[in-house]
Structure 1
Amino acid sequence: MSPIHGVVVWMTGLSGAGKSTLAIALHERLAAAGQRSIVLDGDVLRRGLNADLGYTRADRAENLRRVAHVAALLKQEGFVVIAAVISPEHQHRRMAREIVGDGFIEVFINAPLHVCEARDVKGLYARARRGEIPDFTGISGPFDVPLTPDIAIKTDHVSLDEAVANLLAHLAAAGHLHDLPTEAANLAL
């Protein structure tokens, strides 16, 4: 029996950059190819596992620490774990990488602020600009642009299908899709 090798695809980027949309699309393609995968969406986790946390600096760090530990557990079971979380600071992503260990892929979902604001159906950016939401990432709170992500996806320049294809190609090149049958691997790519 071969050892189980999972991977954590840690998607970081501003609110509205396309993390959740891309995470779901990647999950669907992997599932269609027979690959065990799961999405850990920051917004969903904030309503459950992390409902007791606010948005202070300490609470954000704790939120991401919990997400990283859940991701690490699922990775150990052989899942492709797709974590779609803002993780605004370098130290957050460094902590997540340390918790997960080998098999951590940092993906910068890169969209300019004006694009993210235009995509904001909840009106969060407008509320943040009016001062109604303190410490909102990208407006009144920091977002440290990843310096050396494993892959960057410019969601304002590529289609969703192209973005998924880029991620699948990266996962395959890094050896994380090697256990798929040939037909399933072709479907994934």
Structure 2
Amino acid sequence: MSRNIVWHNAAVSHTERQHRNGHQPCLLWYTGLSGSGKSTIANAVDRLLFDLGCHTYLLDGDNVRHGLNGDLGFDDASRVENIRRITEVSRLMLDAGLIVGTAFISPFIADRAQAKALAGSAFIEVFVDTPLSICEQRDPKGLYKKARAGEIAHFTGISSPYEAPTSPDIHLQTAALSIEQAARQVISLLQQRGILCQTQLRQPAN
């Protein structure tokens, strides 16, 4: 980093933004294998939060690679950089007082630990735990089939490891949960931690 760069203090403080939003900011970090249901559950949670009047944004792995991370591949070094950039973007959104969702495989424990270190107490790790066999059965993008055929290198769960969380904040075992049930578990934790205000708790979600 250049020595000529200094942090510019904004005229509107983080506390003011948080007060205007009416809830605490947090980073919902969804991790799991490809096809586990991360994006589907993250979107369901985002819809519930939006209907409760929360200020949110969802960062999806595929969407981000269309722009911000379009120059990155899928080797281990690129995956690390992918998560680093997402973490930095998430930090900016947290400073704006948002409830941020990130739906990325993020296969390495060390990278998720770095995200947690940067986000601090706002970090909530959501393990979308779906057996590999079920993910392969779903295979919505046909990626597992290509990986098994050797057409995709560095594919998590097949030719690249996935390091599962050992103590996630939320453990969603999707083989036994519907999308709605999984989403409600996330909302319930946000309620327990006081991230949602009392007005939002009383307001029914559609």
TM class by smaller structure: over 0.9
- Runs (5+) with no aligned partner, structure 1: none
- Letter in structure 1 aligned against 2:72: L
Residue 71 of structure 2: which of 52, 55, 61 is its match?
52
Report the count of equivalent residues. Answer: 187
1:157 and 2:170 aligned: no
1:65 and 2:84 aligned: yes
Residue 93 of structure 2: which of 61, 74, 88 is its match?
74
Alpha-carbon distance in 2 for matches of 1:182, 1:171: 10
Residue 28 of structure 2: which of 9, 15, 24 is its match?
9
C-alpha RMSD of matched pairs (Å): 1.7
For the structure 1 residues 183 and 66, does the alpha-carbon distance in structure 2 shift closer, same or farther, using more than 3 Å as the test?
same
CA shift digits 1:55-83 (9 cap, x unpaired): 11111101000101111111111111010
Moved beyond 6 Å, runs of 4+: none
CA shift digits 1:26-78 (9 cap, x unpaired): 11111111001111001110111100101111111010001011111111111
Residue 102 of structure 2: which of 66, 77, 83 is its match?
83
For the structure 1 residues 2 and 63, does the alpha-carbon distance in structure 2 shift closer, same or farther, using more than 3 Å as the test?
closer
Alpha-carbon distance in 2 for matches of 1:153, 1:109: 5
Structure 1 or 2, whichever has the larger Rg, is: 2
- Runs (5+) with no aligned partner, structure 2: 1-12, 19-23
1:43 and 2:62 aligned: yes
Alpha-carbon distance in 1 for matches of 2:120, 2:184: 25
Contact 2:55 2:99 in 1 (8 A): yes
CA shift digits 1:104-136 (9 cap, x unpaired): 000100000011111112110011111111110
- Letter in structure 2 aligned against 1:40: L
1:99 and 2:118 aligned: yes
For the structure 1 residues 151 and 181, does the alpha-carbon distance in structure 2 shift closer, same or farther, using more than 3 Å as the test?
closer
Residue 114 of structure 1: which of 123, 128, 133 is its match?
133
Q: Which residue of 1 aligns with 2:158?
A: 139
Residue 182 of structure 1 and its aligned partner are, at CA, apart by: 4.7
- Letter in structure 2 aligned against 1:89: F
Q: Name the SS for the 1:14 alignment partner.
A: coil
Alpha-carbon distance in 2 for matches of 1:2, 1:46: 28
